[in-house]
Structure 1
Amino acid sequence: MSEWWREAWIVVQHEFSDLPAVGDFTRVCVRLLMATVLGGIIGYERESSGSAAGFRTHMLVALGAALFVLVPLQAGMESDDISRVVQGVVSGIGFLGAGAIIKHGQGLEVHGLTTAASVWLTCAIGLAAGMGHEATAIVSTFFALLILLLVRVIKTPDQGQAGKLPKT
């Protein structure tokens, strides 16, 4: 029986050997944590403005996007293959963003475009963090917050109907 346990332990060690060095483990943790935190920052802003896709959604989108590119990078995939992964992630996130867009009435009033765009941008930030471009991800998050917060402050109350299409 002890031979069986020894063999089982070797298999378990092999299964967890994708991060053999402390540096690799740290790199993965930093990238995933960075994506999650930056997604959370944008999500917090969206949730505080009453958006349906808020804190948790944006965190999960950024984390998932980072993981989708991090695993192929760890596996040693070529850049052409990774670009196809990125294309798939960006296409897939479009469906999630589309779910945030709501038309009222006869389609003259549209809501959720900013939330859909923020989910899409959060995905891009997660991809950047996952690929090791954390500085780019941080700068992008800063610009996103600048846009989301400043426009809300600058916008006057009568501009609240900006999503309404003119009647023709």
Structure 2
Amino acid sequence: MEQAALPDTLSTLDLLLRLGGATLLGMALGLDRELRGFSAGIRTHGMLSLAAAMVVISGMMLHHAVRAAGGDADPLRTVQGLYQALGFIGAGLVFTRRGGVHNLTSAGSIILAVAIGIAGGLGQWALACIATGLGLCVLTLVRIAERWLPGSGKARED
């Protein structure tokens, strides 16, 4: 089982790998949105994933410092706070027009980018990479397969 390093043992290189890796994986998710012309693209996904990784690392370091001083801290509140803030970003992306709901996939992709950032910040690379791969499959392969689903509105005319 993969184990995250204690916050007080993170070297500058480890910080760079965690933050950089989270950013790159988030950007990989944003590529699909960028290629499809959505405003939440490579930069947005990369920045949110980076921000999530940074907040989680900072929260873990703060947790360690508080515990070392004899205090009590719950690092999971950092993740909870991230997801509460993310709800506002996701809600701002989604809108309705002419009876249809738009940007749900972009909002979902951004939520995944933040989750990948959290995993990257914690050094959980297997989790982050698997989630990125599955997310890319959903964004690309499933979109292609949807064309042949009956009643999807995206089926080819024969």
The residue aligned with 2:97 is 104
For residues 26-72 of structure 1, what are the alpha-carbon distances to aligned partners after superposition, in whole Å with 9 as ceiling and x for unaligned? 11110000100000000111111222200100000000000001012
Query: Helix, strand or coil for the counterpart of 1:52?
Result: coil
Query: What is the number of residues matched between the two proteins?
Result: 140
- 5+ residue gaps, structure 2: 1-6
Alignment of 1:9-158 (within 5 A): 24-75=11-62, 76=64, 81-105=74-98, 108-156=99-147
Bigger relative contact order (CA 8 A; separation at least 6): 2
Question: How far apart, CA to CA, are the structure 1 residues paired with 2:30 and 2:55?
Answer: 20
TM-score (norm 2): 0.81
Structure with max Cα Rg: 1
User: Could you tell me whether the CA contact under 8 Å between 1:52 and 1:100 is conserved in 2?
Assistant: no
Q: Gapped runs of 5+ residues in structure 1?
A: 1-18, 162-168
Query: How far apart in 1 are the matches of 2:37 and 2:95?
Result: 14
With structure 1 as the length reference, what TM-score do the two structures score? Answer: 0.76
Whole-angstrom distance in 2 between the partners of 1:80 and 1:88: 14
* Cα distance change on mapping 1:113 and 1:80 into 2, 3 Å: farther
Percentage of identical aligned residues: 36
The whole-number CA distance in structure 2 between the counterparts of 1:140 and 1:20 is 27
C-alpha deviation, 1:160, in angstroms = 4.2
Match of 1:10 in 2: none
